[in-house]
Amino acid sequence: MKKARVVKKLKALLTENLHMNPSKNPVHIRLEDDSMVVEGEVERVAYKKKALLLAMGLEGIEGVIDRLRVRPAKRMGDGEIKKHIMDAITEEPALDASAIDVEVKDGVVDIEGRVPSLSHKRLCGVLAWWVPGSTDVINSLMVDPPEEDSPEELVDAIRIVLEKDGLVDASSITIEADANWVVTLRGTVKGPAECLAAEDDVWYVWGVNDVMNKLDVLK
Inform me whether the pLDDT recorded for 1 exceeds 70.
no
Q: What is the pLDDT, as a whole number, of residue 3?
A: 65
**Dihedral (Cα; 114, 120, 122, 124), 10-degree rounding:** -70
Q: What is the pLDDT, as a whole number, of residue 74?
A: 93
Q: What is the pLDDT, as a whole number, of residue 9?
A: 84
Which of these, 180, 184, 209, lies nearest to 199 by C-alpha position? 184
Angle (CA) 125-69-84 rounded to 5° is 45
Which tens digits make up the pLDDT trace of 203-218?
999 999 999 999 999 8
Q: What is the pLDDT, as a whole number, of residue 22?
A: 67
Confidence band for 168, pLDDT divided at 50, 70 and 90: very high
Protein fold of 151-217: Histidine-containing Protein; Chain: A; (3.30.1340)
- Within the chain, which residue ranges are assigned CATH 3.30.1340.30? 2-70
d(CA 96, CA 189): 33
Q: What is the mean pLDDT of residues 15-20?
A: 77
Confidence band for 81, pLDDT divided at 50, 70 and 90: very high
Q: What is the pLDDT, as a whole number, of residue 2?
A: 65
Which tens digits make up the pLDDT trace of 22-55?
667 788 888 887 788 999 999 999 999 988 988 8
Inform me whether the pLDDT recorded for 183 exceeds 90.
yes
Answer with the residue of higher pLDDT: 7 or 165.
165
> Please, what CATH class does the domain formed by 78-143 belong to?
alpha beta
d(CA 101, CA 119): 17
Answer with the residue of higher pLDDT: 61 or 130.
130
In terms of DSSP H, where are the helices of the chain? 2-18, 45-56, 78-91, 118-130, 151-164, 192-204
108-115 and 142-143 strand pairing: parallel
Q: How far is CA 163 from the centre of its chain?
A: 18
Q: What is the mean pLDDT of the chain?
A: 92
Inform me whether the pLDDT recorded for 71 exceeds 90.
yes
Residues across the chain: 219
Q: What is the CATH number of domain 2-70?
A: 3.30.1340.30
Inform me whether the pLDDT recorded for 21 exceeds 60.
yes
Quote the pTM value: 0.91
3-class DSSP assignment, residue 178: coil
Q: What is the mean pLDDT of residues 158-182?
A: 97
